[in-house]
Amino acid sequence: MTAHHQSAPRPPHQVLDGTDIARVVTRIAHEIVERAKGAEDVVLLGIHTRGVHLARRLHAKLTQITGREIPLGTLDITMYRDDLRLKPARALEHTEIPADGIDGRLVILVDDVLFSGRTIRAALDALSDIGRPRAVQLAVLVDRGHRELPIRADYVGKNLPTSLREAVQVRLSDSDGVDAVLVGDRDYTARSSQALAAPASDTHPSE
C-alpha cells in the first residue's frame, strides 16, 4: 500500500510589488475624486495598522490631485471587535479625528485587506460613537473574498480569490521595510511569522 503524506505548506508568493501598490493607490485616489465630485467633503480614516499607512498615501495623492488638504484621521477598532474574548488582548491604538469632525462628511474608511467583513463592521460601530457622517465608503488594497457579512468595498486595489487555507500578507515600507502583497498557505505563514519580530499583516477568518 502506498502511504499518503500530507503535502508541505507552500511558502508565500508575491502578487503585488511596490510599483503595483503605488499604481493602485494612484488609481483609487483618482476614482475617489471622480465619484466624490472633487472630494470636497471627503474625510479619510485609516484603520490601524496598515490601513493607516495606506490612508496616508491616499491622502498625499489626493492632495496632489486636488491641490487641497484632505482631512485625515485614524480609527482604532480594538474595543469594538466581536472576537475580543477569543483572542489575546491587543494593545490599544489612537483614534484621531480631524478637527472639523465627521458630521455631514463623506467618510472613506481605508484598510489593507477585506476578508469576512467583521473588521469593517467594528469600524462602523466605532464610527457611530464619533459622529454622523453623510455617507461611509470603503477603500481596500486587497479584497480576498469569503465575506461573512453583507459588506463590500467601494474602491478595490486588487480582487484576489483565495482559499480559506491561504493567508494574505500585506507588507508596507512604513512598518515592514518593503511594499508587497503575498499569498501562501496559512500553516507556512503561521510558522514563519513566529520568527519575525514584527510579522506582516495576516488576515484571520474573523477579519
Domain-located, residue 7: no
* Nearest-angstrom CA–CA distance, 139 and 159: 12
Look up the CATH number of the domain holding residue 85: 3.40.50.2020
Per residue of the chain (207 residues), give pLDDT as tens.
Answer: 444 445 666 789 999 999 999 999 999 999 999 999 999 999 999 999 999 999 999 999 999 999 999 999 999 999 998 766 556 555 567 899 999 999 999 999 999 999 999 999 999 999 999 999 999 999 999 999 999 999 999 999 999 999 999 999 999 999 999 999 999 998 765 555 444 434 444 444 335
Domain-located, residue 52: yes
Q: What angle do CA 144, 119, 30 make, to 5 degrees?
A: 60
Query: For the chain, how many structural domains are there in total?
Result: 1
Domain-located, residue 40: yes
Domain-located, residue 188: no
Rounded to two decimals, the pTM is: 0.85
**Residue span of the structural domain in which 75 resides:** 18-164
Domain-located, residue 100: yes
Domain-located, residue 192: no
Domain-located, residue 74: yes
Cell 486636488 locates to: 66
* Nearest-angstrom CA–CA distance, 77 and 85: 15
Domain-located, residue 191: no
- Burial of 204 from C-beta contacts in 10 A (0-12 / 13-18 / 19+): middle
* Nearest-angstrom CA–CA distance, 56 and 167: 25
